[in-house]
């Protein structure tokens, strides 16, 4: 009985921690940022800061279009065609309630 209680407690703790982590702030990373591999570490930090700074979805999409064009240009210099991301950072931020 004691073992079952410990397992249930551990499971509840894992659920709470994973829920808190999933709702954390959006962050740029290679899975969600087009052209991540063509950015310097400083550019990655600045990109994340800018993505979090917008006060409207439209401003975010405007910046994102400019960013994607720049990353596509860098990729082409290396002979790579960037595939569009199915899930954009602006969409993720909007789903998290950043904008109405």
Would you kindly state where each structural domain of the chain is located, as residue ranges? 26-95
- Residue 51 near residue 3 (C-beta atoms within 8 A): no
Query: For 43-78, what is each residue's pLDDT tens digit?
Result: 999 999 999 899 999 999 999 999 999 999 999 999
Report helix, strand or coil for 87. Answer: coil
Q: By C-alpha distance, which of 62, 60, 86, 81 is closest to 71?
A: 81
Task: Check pLDDT > 50 for residue 35.
Answer: yes
C-alpha separations of 57 from 52, 64, 67 in Å: 11, 10, 15
- For residues 5 and 36, the model is more confident at 36
């Amino acid at each position: 009985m004691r073992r079952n209680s410990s397992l249930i407690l551990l499971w509840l703790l894992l659920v709470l921690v994973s829920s808190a982590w999933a709702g954390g702030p959006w962050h740029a990373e290679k899975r969600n940022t087009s052209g991540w591999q063509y950015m310097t570490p400083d550019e990655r930090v600045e990109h994340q800061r800018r993505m979090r700074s917008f006060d409207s979805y439209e401003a975010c999409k405007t910046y994102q279009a400019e960013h994607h064009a720049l990353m596509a240009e860098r990729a082409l210099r290396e002979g790579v065609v960037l595939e569009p991301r199915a899930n954009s950072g602006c969409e993720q931020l909007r789903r998290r309630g950043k904008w109405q």
